[in-house]
Amino acid sequence: MTQYILKKLIVLPVLLFFISMVVFSIQVLVPGDPIEIMFFGEEPSPELVARIRAEMGLDRPVYSQFFSFLGGIFEGDLGTSYRSRQPVTVEIAARFPRTLQLAIVSIGISGVLGISMGVTAAYKKDSFFDLFSMGFALIGLSMPIFWLGMLLIDIFGVRLGWFPVFGSGTWRHLVMPAMTLGFINAAVVARISRSTMLEELRKDYIRTARAKGLIERVVLLGHALKNAFIPIITVMGLRFGNLLGSAFITETVFAWHGIGELGVMAIQARDFPVVQGVVLTVATGYVLINTGVDIIYGFLNPKIRFR
C-alpha cells in the first residue's frame, strides 16, 4: 500500500512540472508582442518599453524565461495582470474560494440526486421510474449547461423571484449555479450508479443475503450499494475535476465571480498572465484531485494496489 501511494506521489511533481511547461508555452506561442497587448492603443516611449521588457525578462532566451516562471510559481508570483495591474496570485486567491464552494456544493447535489436516482432505477429495473429517470438523465447529458442555467434564472429568478439572478456573495446567490452544475452532473452519476448497482444485484452474495432473510433495505444499501460505491466515487472524483472546467461556462452565465469567470474575461482581453494563472490553478487542482481519488481507490479496493 505504501508503495502504491509513493508511486502516485512521485508521479505528481513530474506531472505538475509538465503542466507548468504547457502553461508557460501559452506566452511563447501567442502571436504578437506582449508589450503591444499591454499598451493596447497607447504609444509608450521606447525607454519604457525597454525597461518593461527587461523587467519581464522578455530580452532573455526562452529557457531562462521558463526557469524564472517556474521559480515564480514556487515564490507565489505568477506575474502581473495586464489589465488590472494587480498581482495574478491576488486576483486568483480572491476568487478561488468561490469556485471551490460552487464545485463542492454542486458535487454534493449531484451525488445525492444521482445516487438515489440510480439506485432506485436499478432496484426497480424496467419500471416506469427506471425509464423516466434514465430518460431524464439522457436529457441532462444532452442539455447545454448554459441553457439550463438560463432556464433556472427565468423560472426561479425572474418569474418566482426566489433567488437573485446574478452575482455572488450570499448562499442565495449560490443556489442556482450549484443546481445547474449539480443537475448536469447528476445525470452522469445516475447512469453510473444504475449500471454498477445492476451488476452488484446480480451477484451471488445478494441472493445469499436475501436467503438469510435480511430485509431489502439492508440488502440494497448495506450490501449492494457498499460495493457499488467504489466505481461511483471514482466517477464522481473525476467529475469534480470536470466541474472545475464547466465552471467556466456556469460562472459566466450567473456572473459568479470565481476563477472561471476570471479566466474567460482574461482570454477575451488577451490578459495572458491571468490566463496562465487560471489554467495553472485549475489543472493543478484537477491533478491533485485525481491523485487523491486514486489513493482513496487503493484503500477501498485492495486488488488495485498489487498491479
Partner 1 sequence: MNNESKERQTKEEPLTRGWLYSLRKVIKHKQGLVGGILVLIIVIMAIFAPYIAPRNPYERNVPRMLEAPSGEHWFGTDMQGRDLFSQVIYGSRITLVAGLASVLISMVLGVIIGIIAGFHGGRLDLFISAVIDFLLSFPTLILALIVVSILGPGLNNAVLAVGFQGIPIFARFIRGEVMVQKEVGYVEGSFALGASKFRLVFRHILPNIIPSITVMATLELPRVILMLAGLGFIGLGAQPPVLEWGRLMVSARDYFFLAPWLINFPGVAIMISVFGFNLLGNALRDVFDPSLQ
Our CB check for partner 1 shows the closer of 123 and 254 to be 254
Q: Which residues bind partner 1 (CB under 8 A)?
A: 15, 18-19, 22-23, 26, 29-30, 138-139, 141-147, 150-151, 153-154, 158, 241-242, 244-246, 248-249, 252-253, 263-264, 267-268, 270, 272, 275, 279, 282-283, 286-287, 290
Q: Closer to partner 1 at the Cβ: 12 or 50?
A: 12
Q: How far is the CB of 194 from partner 1 (least distance, A)?
A: 13
3-state secondary structure (DSSP) of residue 234 = helix
Spatial CA neighbour of 238 closest among 174, 183, 182, 188: 188
Nearer to partner 1, 220 or 283 (CB): 283
Contacts of 177 by beta carbon, 8 Å cutoff, 6+ apart: 102, 106, 149, 250, 251, 253, 254, 256
Question: Which residue, 96 or 209, is less far from partner 1 as judged by CB?
Answer: 96
C-alpha cell at 58: 522578455
Residue 15 sits at the vertex; the CA angle it makes with 10 and 19, to the nearest 5 degrees, is 155
Nearest to partner 1 of 15, 50 (CB atom):
15
Provide, rounded to whole angstroms, the least separation between the CB of residue 213 and partner 1: 35
Residues 6+ apart with CB under 8 A from 69: 20, 24
Q: Which is nearer to partner 1, 30 or 221 (CB)?
A: 30
Shortest approach of partner 1 to residue 254 CB, angstroms? 12
Residue 90 or residue 287: which is nearer to partner 1 going by CB?
Answer: 287
DSSP for 114-157, please give it. HHHHHHHHHHTTTSHHHHHHHHHHHHHHHS-HHHHHHHHIIIII
- What is the C-alpha to C-alpha distance for residues 137 and 146, in angstroms, rounded to an integer? 17
d(CA 19, CA 278): 12
Q: Which is nearer to partner 1, 93 or 150 (CB)?
A: 150
Distances (CA, A) of 152 to 106, 192, 233, 261: 15, 26, 28, 19
CA distances to 64, 104, 118, 129, 229 from 111, rounded to whole Å, are 46, 10, 10, 19, 11
Q: What angle, rounded to 10 degrees, do the helices at 171-201 and 145-152 form? A: 130
Q: Cβ of residue 263: shortest distance to partner 1, in angstroms? A: 7
Q: What's the closest the beta carbon of residue 268 comes to partner 1, in angstroms?
A: 6
User: Please, what is the minimum distance in Å from the beta carbon of residue 29 to partner 1?
Assistant: 5
> Is the CB of residue 77 less than 8 Å from the CB of residue 69?
no
| Chain position carrying cell 445516487 | 115
- Minimum gap (Å) between residue 267 Cβ and partner 1: 5
